[in-house]
Amino acid sequence: MPLFLGINSYAQDSYKIENIDSLVSSINRLNLQVHLDSSTKKVADIEMELKTYSLVVFDNGVLRKYQIKMSSFDHENNVYTPFSQSTTFYYDQNKLIKVEKSRLQFEKQSVLEWYFSDDKLIKCTDTNSSLASSFLINAKEFLKRAKWIEKK
Protein backbone atom coordinates (compact mmCIF):
# COMPACT_ATOMS: atom_id res chain seq x y z
CA MET A 1 0.00 0.00 0.00
CA PRO A 2 2.69 2.64 0.80
CA LEU A 3 4.33 2.04 -2.61
CA PHE A 4 1.10 2.97 -4.39
CA LEU A 5 0.80 6.20 -2.36
CA GLY A 6 4.40 7.08 -3.25
CA ILE A 7 3.74 6.58 -6.96
CA ASN A 8 0.54 8.63 -6.77
CA SER A 9 2.40 11.50 -5.04
CA TYR A 10 5.16 11.42 -7.68
CA ALA A 11 2.58 11.50 -10.48
CA GLN A 12 0.85 14.52 -8.91
CA ASP A 13 4.17 16.36 -8.58
CA SER A 14 5.09 15.52 -12.18
CA TYR A 15 1.76 16.92 -13.33
CA LYS A 16 2.33 20.12 -11.28
CA ILE A 17 5.83 20.51 -12.72
CA GLU A 18 4.54 20.13 -16.29
CA ASN A 19 1.89 22.78 -15.58
CA ILE A 20 4.49 25.11 -14.05
CA ASP A 21 6.81 24.71 -17.05
CA SER A 22 3.87 25.42 -19.35
CA LEU A 23 3.04 28.62 -17.42
CA VAL A 24 6.69 29.72 -17.46
CA SER A 25 6.86 29.12 -21.20
CA SER A 26 3.77 31.24 -21.80
CA ILE A 27 5.09 34.04 -19.53
CA ASN A 28 8.30 34.13 -21.57
CA ARG A 29 6.44 34.01 -24.90
CA LEU A 30 3.68 36.54 -24.33
CA ASN A 31 4.06 40.25 -24.97
CA LEU A 32 3.54 41.45 -21.39
CA GLN A 33 4.23 44.77 -19.66
CA VAL A 34 7.96 44.98 -18.82
CA HIS A 35 9.89 47.30 -16.52
CA LEU A 36 13.66 47.27 -16.90
CA ASP A 37 16.30 48.99 -14.79
CA SER A 38 20.08 48.73 -14.83
CA SER A 39 23.17 49.99 -13.05
CA THR A 40 26.90 49.84 -13.72
CA LYS A 41 29.66 49.80 -11.17
CA LYS A 42 33.37 49.91 -11.90
CA VAL A 43 35.69 48.49 -9.26
CA ALA A 44 39.05 50.07 -10.05
CA ASP A 45 41.03 48.13 -7.43
CA ILE A 46 40.37 44.81 -9.13
CA GLU A 47 39.73 46.15 -12.63
CA MET A 48 36.19 44.83 -12.82
CA GLU A 49 33.00 46.21 -14.29
CA LEU A 50 29.71 44.94 -12.90
CA LYS A 51 26.33 45.52 -14.55
CA THR A 52 23.09 44.66 -12.80
CA TYR A 53 19.75 44.42 -14.55
CA SER A 54 16.33 44.11 -12.96
CA LEU A 55 13.47 42.93 -15.13
CA VAL A 56 9.90 42.95 -13.84
CA VAL A 57 7.05 41.54 -15.96
CA PHE A 58 3.37 42.22 -15.29
CA ASP A 59 0.22 40.72 -16.76
CA ASN A 60 -2.72 43.12 -16.22
CA GLY A 61 -1.08 44.54 -13.08
CA VAL A 62 -0.16 41.13 -11.64
CA LEU A 63 3.51 40.21 -11.16
CA ARG A 64 4.49 37.25 -13.34
CA LYS A 65 8.29 37.42 -13.48
CA TYR A 66 11.08 39.11 -11.53
CA GLN A 67 14.63 38.68 -12.80
CA ILE A 68 17.94 39.92 -11.49
CA LYS A 69 20.87 39.53 -13.86
CA MET A 70 24.49 40.42 -13.16
CA SER A 71 27.20 40.58 -15.78
CA SER A 72 30.82 41.36 -15.15
CA PHE A 73 34.01 41.65 -17.08
CA ASP A 74 37.25 41.06 -15.25
CA HIS A 75 40.10 43.02 -16.85
CA GLU A 76 42.88 41.40 -14.85
CA ASN A 77 46.16 40.95 -16.75
CA ASN A 78 44.57 42.55 -19.84
CA VAL A 79 42.32 39.52 -20.27
CA TYR A 80 38.57 40.05 -20.41
CA THR A 81 36.77 37.30 -18.55
CA PRO A 82 32.99 37.52 -18.98
CA PHE A 83 30.73 36.21 -16.27
CA SER A 84 26.95 36.39 -15.99
CA GLN A 85 24.46 35.11 -13.49
CA SER A 86 20.72 35.49 -13.29
CA THR A 87 18.02 34.50 -10.87
CA THR A 88 14.47 34.51 -12.19
CA PHE A 89 11.34 34.21 -10.05
CA TYR A 90 8.07 33.17 -11.73
CA TYR A 91 4.65 33.75 -10.20
CA ASP A 92 1.11 32.55 -10.68
CA GLN A 93 -1.73 34.17 -8.73
CA ASN A 94 0.80 36.01 -6.53
CA LYS A 95 2.48 32.75 -5.51
CA LEU A 96 6.00 31.67 -6.37
CA ILE A 97 5.93 28.73 -8.77
CA LYS A 98 9.50 28.48 -10.04
CA VAL A 99 13.01 29.87 -9.59
CA GLU A 100 15.68 29.49 -12.27
CA LYS A 101 19.29 30.28 -11.48
CA SER A 102 21.65 30.34 -14.43
CA ARG A 103 25.34 31.03 -14.62
CA LEU A 104 27.70 31.45 -17.55
CA GLN A 105 31.44 31.47 -16.97
CA PHE A 106 34.29 30.35 -19.19
CA GLU A 107 31.73 29.38 -21.86
CA LYS A 108 30.15 26.88 -19.44
CA GLN A 109 26.50 27.35 -18.63
CA SER A 110 24.64 25.84 -15.72
CA VAL A 111 20.96 26.12 -14.90
CA LEU A 112 19.36 25.13 -11.62
CA GLU A 113 15.61 25.02 -11.00
CA TRP A 114 13.33 25.01 -7.97
CA TYR A 115 9.59 24.27 -8.30
CA PHE A 116 7.01 25.41 -5.74
CA SER A 117 3.37 24.74 -5.02
CA ASP A 118 1.44 26.40 -2.18
CA ASP A 119 4.67 27.87 -0.74
CA LYS A 120 6.32 24.45 -0.56
CA LEU A 121 9.24 23.08 -2.56
CA ILE A 122 8.14 20.17 -4.74
CA LYS A 123 11.31 19.65 -6.79
CA CYS A 124 14.78 21.10 -7.28
CA THR A 125 17.64 20.23 -9.60
CA ASP A 126 20.26 21.43 -7.12
CA THR A 127 21.72 19.24 -4.41
CA ASN A 128 21.20 22.13 -1.98
CA SER A 129 17.45 22.43 -1.42
CA SER A 130 17.99 24.74 1.57
CA LEU A 131 17.91 27.77 -0.75
CA ALA A 132 14.18 27.19 -1.23
CA SER A 133 13.21 28.93 2.02
CA SER A 134 15.24 32.04 1.15
CA PHE A 135 13.66 32.07 -2.33
CA LEU A 136 10.20 32.05 -0.74
CA ILE A 137 11.15 34.99 1.51
CA ASN A 138 12.65 36.93 -1.41
CA ALA A 139 9.63 36.18 -3.59
CA LYS A 140 7.32 37.81 -1.05
CA GLU A 141 9.58 40.88 -0.88
CA PHE A 142 9.58 41.14 -4.67
CA LEU A 143 5.77 41.08 -4.64
CA LYS A 144 5.80 44.10 -2.31
CA ARG A 145 8.36 45.95 -4.50
CA ALA A 146 6.45 45.07 -7.66
CA LYS A 147 3.34 46.86 -6.43
CA TRP A 148 5.43 50.01 -6.09
CA ILE A 149 7.13 49.54 -9.49
CA GLU A 150 3.83 48.91 -11.26
CA LYS A 151 2.41 52.21 -9.94
CA LYS A 152 5.26 54.20 -11.55
Q: For residue 88, which of 17, 33, 138 has the smallest C-alpha distance? A: 138
Residue 146 has pLDDT above 90, yes or no: no
Q: What is the pTM of this model?
A: 0.82
pLDDT of residue 116: 96
Q: What pLDDT score was predicted for residue 28?
A: 92
Query: How much is the average pLDDT of 43-60?
Result: 82
Res 50: pLDDT: 81
pLDDT band with cut points at 50, 70 and 90 for residue 11: low
CA atoms of 3 and 19, how far apart (whole Å): 25
